[in-house]
Structure 1
Amino acid sequence: MHIGDRVAAEMAAKGWSEGELARRAGVTQPTVHRIISGESKSPKRDNIEKIAKALRVSSRWLWDGGVKEENESFDANVEPTTGPTRYYEYPEISWVQAGVACEAMDLFNVGDFEAIHPSDAWAGPNGFWLKVRGPSMTSTNGMSFSEGMIILVAPGSDVENGQYVVAKLIDTNEATFKQFIWDSGKAYLKPLNPAFPTVEVDNTWTIVGRVVDAKWPRSVL
C-alpha cells in the first residue's frame, strides 16, 4: 500500500467522500484526489499533516505504513472544529458557447453568460455550468439528469469509463451531454434514457470536458 491507499482506506472506514475529507482537512478536493490516485508522487508535507489530523491517524503512519498509530495531537476529549466549506463560482453559459474551445476562453468576459452559480467541486479555472436540455439523460431508475438541471463542466479533464461528459461534433460545434462508455476498445456516448440512441465516438467528435457537479438552480425552487 502507498500513502494514497492508506488515505482511501481511512476515508472508506469513515464513509467520507473526497470532498468531505478535503473540507475537514482544509485542503482542496483535487489535492485529495491526486494523493489517493497516486498522481501526486511527492505530496506536500503540510497537506499530509492536515489530512492525518482530519482522519485522526498519525502522519508518520500515512507516510510509511506499518502499525497504525493514532494522531498524537488528537485529544479524545475535544471535538475538532471543521473549517468552512470552500465554494467556487462558475458562469452558466449557452450550449452554443460550450461548442467552442471553452478552455481557451475567459468565460467571465464573454459578456453574455446567463448567471453565476457556486459549487464545492473544482472544475478548473475555465469551468462552466450548462442547463440540461431535453429528456435524453432522464432515467427511470438510478442516476438521472432532468431537463432544467444545471451541470458543471471541467474543460479538458481526463475522462474515464462511466463518467459524464459534454462532447461536440468538430465540424458543427454542436454540443451534447452524455455518459462516456469505453467498451471493446471503442468509445461511446450513451444517453440514460433508452429511447435515445448510443453514438460511437469517432474522429468527428471531441470531448469538451467532464461533468463534476449537477443540481437544480435556485431559481426553480
Structure 2
Amino acid sequence: MCMSTLAERLKEARKHAKLTQAKLAAVSGVEQPLISQLETGKNLQSAHLPKFAHICGVSAIWLSDNIGPMVVDSKEKSNVSVASQPAQSYRYPVISWVSAGSWAEAVEPYPAGISDNYEFSEYDSKGSAFWLTVKGDSMTAPAGQSITEGTLILVDTEAEVVPGKLVVAKLPDSNEATFKKLVSDGGRLFLKPLNPSYPIEPFDENCRIVGVVVRALQKF
C-alpha cells in the first residue's frame, strides 16, 4: 500500500471538505502561508492538525499518522449523539478609524501590517472586510436601534449600499472615517447619526462610502 505524506493527506482533507486554502485559513485562524507550506512539505508542524481534521471532517489520527480510514464510517460510531457543529466563522482584522478613512482611497485591500488584532464572525463577506471599534456616542440612540461606544462593527466594503443601511463613510474634510446611517430625503442623500443631539451631514460627490456595517459585536 502506498504511504501518503502529511502534505498529501492535508490537501486531500481540505478537498474533502471543499475548502480552499484561504477558506481553511479563515475558519481555523491559521495563516494561509503556513497551510501552503504544510501542503508543499516545507513545514512539518503538527500542532494545528487536530483543528484541521475537525474542520475538514476527517480522522485526526489518519491526518497526523496515516492510521485508519480518512473518514470514520458513522455506522461504526457509538450511539452517543454528537453535538451539532457551529456555523463557519471568518477572520477579519480590527483596524483604526484613520486606516478605515484611508481605505476609501486604497488601491490594494489588506496592505501588509494593517493589523495585529483579528476577530471572528459567521458572516462571509462579499469583499474585503474589517472591524472597527465605535468611538463616541453619535450612534447611541435613546430608543430603537442604537450602537454604543466600544461596540465592534464589521464593515463589508462590497455589500450593497442603499438608504437605510448603516455605513462607514469618508468625508472630504476629515482624515478619519465616520459611522452614520445613510438616509434619503427629497432625492438627496444624508449621513444621519442615531443620536439626535448630533447634526445630519449631507452626502455629496466628495464623500466616499467605505463600506456597509453588517455586524455589531458588543465587547464586555
User: How does the TM-score come out when normalised to structure 2?
Assistant: 0.57
Number of residue-to-residue matches in the alignment: 138
Distance in 2, matches of 1:172 and 1:200, equals: 14
Conserved? CA contact 1:153–1:166, under 8 Å? yes
Distance in 2, matches of 1:122 and 1:96, equals: 24
Partner of 1:71: none
Distance in 2, matches of 1:209 and 1:97, equals: 13
Letter in 1 for 2:100: A
Percent identity, aligned pairs only? 42
Letter in 1 for 2:108: M
Distance in 1, matches of 2:147 and 2:116, equals: 20
Structure showing greater radius of gyration is: 2
Conserved? CA contact 1:94–1:114, under 8 Å? no
Match of 1:145 among 126, 144, 147: 147
Match of 2:98 among 91, 96, 99: 96
Return closer, same or farther for 1:158/1:139 CA change in 2, 3 Å cut-off: same
Partner of 1:120: 122
Partner of 1:105: 108
Matches within 5 A, 1:26-65: none
Q: Report deviation, 1:216.
A: 1.5
User: How does the TM-score come out when normalised to structure 1?
Assistant: 0.57
Q: Secondary structure at the match of 2:168?
A: strand
Partner of 2:217: 215
Q: Please give the root-mean-square deviation of Cα atoms over the aligned residues, in Å.
A: 2.2
Matches within 5 A, 1:49-198: 84-101=86-103, 104-107=107-110, 109-113=111-115, 115-170=117-172, 172-198=174-200
Q: Secondary structure at the match of 1:187?
A: strand
Letter in 2 for 1:153: V
Letter in 2 for 1:105: E
Question: 5+ unaligned residues in a row in structure 2: which ranges?
Answer: 1-82
Distance in 1, matches of 2:118 and 2:169, equals: 22
Return closer, same or farther for 1:159/1:204 CA change in 2, 3 Å cut-off: same
Q: Report deviation, 1:82.
A: 5.6
Conserved? CA contact 2:127–2:158, under 8 Å? no
